[in-house]
């Protein structure tokens, strides 16, 4: 049996390799050209250490000078002693360049559909066929798309689970912009799209506590990728609460898709919040931080994922601090929406 293993690095790059069942992780990485720094190979020096972000594994010998009990509790590993028992993802606190491996792949697909999902948002569907199965990424990561007819690139999170033959990207439509103008004016089914992927260090980690996901605007895209995967797996064993904030109710998109997660993900909850409603709206208004349910969050540790524009991310970070919830794990992606 072979497992797919992702190696993410401090510079935001992610490399993938196949590792045999019962194979030492370091050996699998080296065989694929990912040269994890090493020294003793005996579980003593800790040079090869990383942290398991998702998946199951065992370790052979780990010297207590190399990793302490609390390190082990944090799922730190010595790759020279680690054997994976499922698909898995590991994080390393140094740049990928140290491993002498090549970076993201260049992938090519064709536009199969442009779907207007709100007056301000479209979903670009890009068919990649079997290449989709070979395109490894973690849910939450993004691709840099070369806008057809230009030399400009724009970054978009995958709005679908890995392994799909058709990729989806949520595109915010501006009054005018390089990608907006292409999507609105020139985009045709069959157009070739070149992209660089995978990129980014924001991705779904091993789920071992309740998840609170907070999306601002098209930051929803990353969560659609994560939730599609969780739904495919029939849940993650913990409650999942998605908060989704937009300016006007008309900006909300993929609501039916989100509501359908409740049928596939046990204990899934969804709270849309509109900050400045112009269109008729009877739901929650204001800022997302005003609606996060503090009382229940105080009771159990949870993992907090944020993806959206910097003001939203900063306001939630401030909320977390003022509520004394620093013990929750925080993963975030701030994206500055391009104005052109
Ligand atoms: S190389 Fe020394 S602990 Fe792995």
- Per-residue b/e over 179-202, b at no fewer than 16 CB within 10 Å? bbbbbbeebeeebebebbbbbbbb
Distance from the CA of 104 to the center of ligand 1, in angstroms? Answer: 27
Residue corresponding to tokens 């207007």: 116
Mutate to test the pocket of ligand 1, among 25, 36, 46 (most ligand atoms within 8 A of CB): 46
- Topology annotation, domain 211-334: Rossmann fold (3.40.50)
- Residue 25 near ligand 1, beta carbon < 6 Å: no
- Residue 41 near ligand 1, beta carbon < 6 Å: yes
Distance from the CA of 49 to the center of ligand 1, in angstroms? Answer: 7
pLDDT at 335 > cutoff 90:
no
**Ligand 1 atom closest to residue 26's alpha carbon, by position in its atom list:** 4
- Residue 52 near ligand 1, beta carbon < 6 Å: no
d(CA 299, CA 325): 11
Domain ranges across the chain? 2-99, 105-199, 211-334
Which pair of structure tokens corresponds to residue 4? 């797919």
pLDDT at 212 > cutoff 90:
yes
DSSP character at residue 122 = E
CB atoms within 10 A of CB 170: 25
- Per-residue DSSP letters for 140-207? T-EEEEEPTTSS-EEEEEB-S-TT-SEEEEEEEPPSS-HHHHIIIII--TT-EEEEEEEE-S------
SS3 of 277-326:
CCCCCCCEECCHHHCCCHHHHHHCCCEEEEEECHHHHHHHHHHHHHCCCC
Q: Are 240 and 230 in contact (CB under 8 A)?
A: yes
Which pair of structure tokens corresponds to residue 276? 């400045």
At 284-300, the pLDDT tens digits run 999 999 999 877 777 78
pLDDT at 206: 82
pLDDT at 337 > cutoff 70:
no
Residue corresponding to tokens 């003001």: 311
Going by CATH, does the domain composed of 105-199 fall within 2.40.30.10?
A: yes
Q: What is the mean pLDDT of the chain?
A: 91
At 81-114, the pLDDT tens digits run 999 999 999 999 888 888 876 666 789 999 999 9
d(CA 174, CA 163): 30
- Residue 30 near ligand 1, beta carbon < 6 Å: no
d(CA 50, CA 250): 44
Distance from the CA of 50 to the center of ligand 1, in angstroms? Answer: 11
Lateral strand order in the sheet of 14-20: 14-20, 2-9, 88-92, 49-54, 76-78
> The domain at 2-99 falls in which architecture?
Roll (3.10)
Residue corresponding to tokens 């999170």: 157
Query: Crossing angle of helices 255-264/220-232, nearest 10°?
Result: 30
- Residue 39 near ligand 1, beta carbon < 6 Å: yes
Distance from the CA of 8 to the center of ligand 1, in angstroms? Answer: 19
- Residue 48 near ligand 1, beta carbon < 6 Å: yes
pLDDT at 203: 87
Mutate to test the pocket of ligand 1, among 39, 59, 67 (most ligand atoms within 8 A of CB): 39
CB atoms within 10 A of CB 127: 18
Q: Are 135 and 165 in contact (CB under 8 A)?
A: no
At 220-275, the pLDDT tens digits run 999 999 999 999 999 999 999 999 999 999 999 999 999 999 999 999 999 999 99
Count of positions (residues) in the chain:
340
């Amino acid at each position: 049996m072979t497992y797919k293993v992702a190696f993410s690095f401090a510079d935001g790059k992610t490399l993938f390799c196949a590792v045999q069942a019962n194979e030492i992780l370091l050996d699998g990485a080296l065989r694929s050209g990912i040269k994890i720094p090493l020294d003793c190979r005996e579980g003593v020096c800790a040079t090869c250490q990383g942290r398991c972000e998702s998946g199951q594994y065992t370790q052979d010998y780990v010297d207590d000078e190399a990793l302490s009990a609390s390190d082990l509790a944090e799922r730190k590993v010595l790759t020279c002693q680690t054997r994976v028992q499922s698909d898995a993802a590991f994080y390393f606190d140094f740049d990928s360049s140290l491993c002498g491996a090549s970076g993201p792949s260049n992938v090519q697909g064709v536009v199969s559909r442009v779907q207007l999902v709100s007056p301000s948002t479209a979903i670009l569907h890009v068919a990649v066929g079997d290449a989709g199965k070979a395109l490894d990424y973690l849910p939450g990561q993004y691709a840099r798309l070369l806008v057809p007819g230009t030399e400009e690139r724009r970054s978009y999170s995958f709005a679908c689970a890995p392994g799909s033959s058709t990729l989806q990207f949520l595109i915010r439509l501006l009054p005018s912009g390089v990608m907006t103008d292409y999507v609105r004016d020139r985009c045709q089914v069959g157009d070739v799209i070149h992209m660089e992927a995978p990129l980014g260090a924001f991705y779904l980690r091993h789920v071992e506590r309740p998840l609170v996901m907070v999306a601002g605007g098209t930051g929803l895209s990353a969560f659609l990728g994560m939730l599609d995967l969780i739904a495919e797996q029939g849940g993650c064993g913990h409650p999942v609460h998605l908060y989704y904030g937009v300016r006007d109710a008309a900006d909300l998109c993929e609501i039916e898709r989100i509501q359908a997660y409740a049928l596939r993900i046990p204990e899934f909850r969804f709270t849309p919040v509109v900050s400045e409603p112009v269109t008729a709206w009877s739901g929650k208004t204001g800022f997302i931080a005003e609606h996060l349910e503090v009382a229940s969050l105080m009771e159990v540790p949870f993992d907090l994922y944020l993806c959206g524009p910097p003001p939203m991310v900063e306001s939630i970070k401030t909320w977390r601090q003022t509520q004394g919830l620093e013990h929750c794990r925080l993963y975030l992606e701030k994206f500055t929406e391009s104005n052109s």
